Structure 1
Amino acid sequence: MSPVTDLPNLDPALFRAPSAEALGLAEGDAEAPRILLLYGSLRSRSFSRLAVEEAARLLRAMGAETRLFDPHGLPLPDTEEATHPKVAELRELVQWSEGMVWCSPERHGAMTGIMKAQIDWIPLSLGAVRPTQGKTLAVMQVCGGSQSFNAVNQLRILGRWMRMLTLPNQSSVPKAFMEFDDNDRMKPSPFYDRIVDVMEELVKFTLLVRGRREVLTDRYSERKESAAALSSRVNQRAI
């Protein structure tokens, strides 16, 4: 667990790392949640990257294990095979994760193409594995001007499309260039506090969902489809 001393904006007396015990879960559910963080800019000083780096520090302080995917070198969807090293890296991280954070800058009133390309490379299924279904998702955006929610609204739609459990809470940071200091750390503000709230919620929901994904995502239509496929194979063998 990361020390709170690395998080100078936090009040240690008020900061609480979510625990399996407090959520009424079994001791076996206390293993560190595995969280993948994606950001949507290739700039050398990317504020979406700085925002997820702050989020990752908070997640580690809450007991989570975090990994960030660097989108540099990721090809546009369908321009390369899925065996491309960056595509393979992204997909391996998605499969490793139990939850994700998606953070995009808002550009022309929407998420960036870099953000969308990462999501487009994540399939709904990899063989018999559904890499996103039932996993938790927190959405964030950084704005160059006044606060808006266009990017997070789009990310929320994509999260539902990917069959993820998208959190009710979200973060939108206006005038992001004013919210980080010369050391690339976020300044204390209500916007920082909101990120703390969102990450706390993400850890809680990830712990609650753990071990229950199969039950939560078990669907009548898919059971019916599987039964029909099984019946067809049996009939073919009988012929």
Structure 2
Amino acid sequence: MEYLNGEKFNLVPEGLKTSEHKPRILVLYGSLRERSFSRLLAEEAGRILEHMGAEVKFYNPDGLPTYDYDRSLEHPKVQELRELSLWSEGQVWSSPELHGNMSGLMKTQIDWIPLSIGAVRPTQGRTLALLQVSGGSQSFNAVNNMRVLGRWMRMITIPNQSSVAKAYQEFEEDGSMKASNFRDRVVDVMEELMRFTYLTRDHAKFLVNRYSERKAKS
């Protein structure tokens, strides 16, 4: 059986002139468990994005230090994360919901990505899609709280989002996601992310050009 039933996605409006390189998407996940469902969901999202024509990179948060700017700024895992964020044109954040929020590991990754490094902006103007998994009934606390962070980081957080309930039931032994309405929703979210990325990536600097900042420099 063909992947996604061989669907050919129409992601770019007819006549739109856009950069020819593949959209660059960074995927973050918020758990280090051996069978982490937020990681499996992130990997499924990555496969879908690659099927749609994106270049996808994953950041492995294993070894990332707790946020401590003075002591750990030069840590290799911190620098790797920041470089990947600069490389990206869009991002996917996938977290488990813990105590009604994103995981601490997810928040640590986000904390280490600054709003700006001098004149360089690792997140501003980039697109963002949000995913979460839950062990019980469907909830949206993690994605809603990540949405607040995306807004604060001046990212273009797409309207659609996905929450996978009882995630332990939704993945095959090989880690792939079972065909279901949950999986269809993930496809919808990735399709929307790709479209927003195509529409905005060549205009990111224009979109974050602000009067107050120009005034401060004058």
| TM-score normalised per structure 2 | 0.96
Aligned mates of 1:120, 1:221 — CA distance in 2 = 25
1:140 to 111, 118, 131: 131
Contact kept, 8 Å, 1:141 with 1:172, in 2: the verdict is yes
Unaligned runs of 5+ in 1: 228-239
Equivalent residue letter for 1:63: G
Contact kept, 8 Å, 2:125 with 2:155, in 1: the verdict is yes
Verify: 1:207 aligned to 2:201, yes or no: no
Instruction: Decide whether aligned partners of structure 1 residues 190 and 84 sit closer, same or farther in structure 2, where only a CA change above 3 A counts.
Output: same
Aligned mates of 1:23, 1:209 — CA distance in 2 = 15
1:178 to 151, 169, 177: 169
Equivalent residue letter for 2:92: V
Residue 237 of structure 1 corresponds to which residue in structure 2? Answer: none
Greater Cα offset, 181-190 or 33-42: 181-190
1:17 to 9, 15, 20: 9
| Cα-Cα RMSD | 1.3
| TM-score normalised per structure 1 | 0.87
Shift of the alpha carbon at 1:19?
4.1
Residue 42 of structure 2 corresponds to which residue in structure 1? Answer: 52
- Tell me which stretches of 4 or more aligned residues in structure 1 moved more than 6 Å: none
- CA deviations 1:173-211 (Å, max 9, x no partner) are 000000011111110101000000000111110010021
Shift of the alpha carbon at 1:11?
2.3
Aligned mates of 1:91, 1:16 — CA distance in 2 = 33
Shift of the alpha carbon at 1:25?
1.5
SS of the equivalent of 2:174 reads coil
Aligned mates of 1:115, 1:19 — CA distance in 2 = 29
- CA deviations 1:26-80 (Å, max 9, x no partner) are 1x52320000000000101000000010000010011100000011000000073
Residue 84 of structure 1 corresponds to which residue in structure 2? Answer: 75
Instruction: Decide whether aligned partners of structure 1 residues 39 and 70 sit closer, same or farther in structure 2, where only a CA change above 3 A counts.
Output: same
Equivalent residue letter for 2:47: R
SS of the equivalent of 2:202 reads coil
Equivalent residue letter for 1:99: G
Contact kept, 8 Å, 1:39 with 1:102, in 2: the verdict is yes
Contact kept, 8 Å, 2:11 with 2:191, in 1: the verdict is no
- Of all paired residues, the percent bearing the same amino acid is 60
- CA deviations 1:118-169 (Å, max 9, x no partner) are 0000011112101100000000100010000000000000000000000000
Residue 194 of structure 1 corresponds to which residue in structure 2? Answer: 185
